[in-house]
Structure 1
Amino acid sequence: MIPVANQPFRVLVVDDEPINLQIAAVMLEKEGVQAAYALSGVEALDRVQAVDFDLFLVDIMMPGMDGIELCRLLQENPRTRDIPLIFLTAISRREVVVQAFEAGAVDFISKPFFGPELVQRVRAHLRIRDLQKRLEASVNETSLQILKSVEVEEELRSSQSQLAEANKVLENWAHRDPLTGLWNRRKAWDLMHYEADRSDRYGRPTGVIMIDLDLFKQVNDTYGHDVGDRMLVEVTGRLAELVRKQDILVRWGGEEFLVVLPETDQPGAEQLAEKMRSEIAGQRFEFAAEQLTLSLGIAVRMPGQDWDQVIKRADDALYLAKESGRNRAIAAAGL
């Protein structure tokens, strides 16, 4: 439960999609928060004239007045300028994120909502809001209450530090696949662009291996998705033991994995791919009778080459490996 002082916190959720309001309502009400809702920026401005809120959750993309404009107007209003505002949006472009913070937002949550993340961020900002209000009230107290205000300020600093730590943890998990703990596809692109810059600067190749679990659908169909998930986790652990610290191991999607190998040429990538293939082919999984195998496609990014084309070559090689009978590693032609 979100801690409260003398009365429940009030949160105004502004989103033009009713389903998003319903999802937020369920999460907030479980935490003992009184939630009010507005389907537009204009409706939100009307609500803040009648009710004192402790936090705003605002969608950026709304017809008419968007979330950033609403944030600016709330910042200009003495009644609402000190109330924290968290943006909710599926937009991830950096320029939009910068605009959001410049407008006065204190935080940013990506859609679709990750329940624990939403609750933790709301909890942290409501706690800070409560401490700020208590600190402001303490200014008007007598000198005998000065020590109390110091304690509240220290508590506020502690809460802000906890929020910073929580943000680091949540940011890390936002970039991880929840089942395997590997980097997800979105984070992988950031890491790959970084490696491309290094490759271009020093003129060194980057190996790429695209991996697919052969006939994995049969495992799910025969034993159920729980066993399939256990098998994915087991395969992840075995692949992770074979890569170097600087290599990038990614769950690319479903039963597909991607390995990016900095400063690795085609023979080096082929050698690792064969190790991976033989490691999985030589193991039995206690929770499934079938022998699991891998098909692997290998490509190499040379300095200056486009990642999309390199990934396509690796994917084409993977397709050829599966068409050629599976349980094999094939390098892309024309490198």
Structure 2
Amino acid sequence: MTTQAVDNAITEEPLHCPGPESEDAGAGDACNSCNYQQFCSSNNNLPKVEDPDIQLIKDNLSCIKNKILVLSGKGGVGKSTFSTLLSFLLSSDPELNIGLLDLDITGPSIPKMIGTMSDKSNATLHMTNNGLIPNYVQDNLATISIQYLLPSLDEAIIWKSAKKETMIKKFLKDTLWNDLDYLIIDTPPGTSDEHILINKLLNKTQSVTGAVLVTTPQEVSLNDVRKEINFCQKVGIRILGLVENMAGFVCGSCNKKTDIFKATTGGGEALCNEFNIPYWGKVPLDPRLGICCDQGESFIDLYPESEATLKLVEIVEKLMDQCEI
């Protein structure tokens, strides 16, 4: 692609586009250089029709106290693993009711990690006259994922944005969550369709409590997390804290610590200082954690004295403190 073509592509779709549904469509500062300004301006004069699903979602989510987005901006940093661990740890308090929503439509991995899906047994969702019944890992931990609607673990989802939106809306308005203290929402990498939609729907119904960012120490990961921070700032999502995952590996034989992913620019802590966001600490690598995810077992329950579990306990305490603010 030539330099001129790149410049044209950027001009055609400004980075700060308010979107055709916005009240500022065609009138924002970024619209002045956009080829579609006239279209958006004329479209903005049409009468606004409220999405009928908004009220249904608002009513259905009214029983949930805290809605937590888990974001990273990059794949492979352990975001789904962290969402699973967070849910297991919160649900270890029998007084709390927890929901775990797998928003990764094309790469759902939560059911495998929590043990509701395996090569031998596949959980499904049950539809009643009142709505969808989520799968319960335990009495106070409910889960929803598109994987429960697929015939096998190998089935691919090849959908455009509109169909993804329909499914996400269905999960939000039709799932019988009952009363939840926390709904953990595991998102796919990036800052695209699913992120924009979930933020728009939650803001129109009942604001999301905030987001937890997950990164690994190396600069390649931090660069993508900077984009996620920028996304949160633009759409008004409060950043509760940042977790530095896979930070160091302690050998079980010699107890020597090795930084598999080296923090060449200061890691997550330096990033938090740069953007003035809470730093929640480092979660070390533990080979047993990967085995637990593959087998659908709770690492928290099996290894309560591990360094990773102890750090996660501290992180959950910080999460609960932030949610009370």
Greater helix fraction, Structure 1 or Structure 2: 1
Larger radius of gyration: 1
TM over 0.5, shorter chain: no
Structure 1 length-normalised TM? 0.30
Answer 1 or 2: higher relative contact order, Cα 8 Å, separation at least 6.
Answer: 2
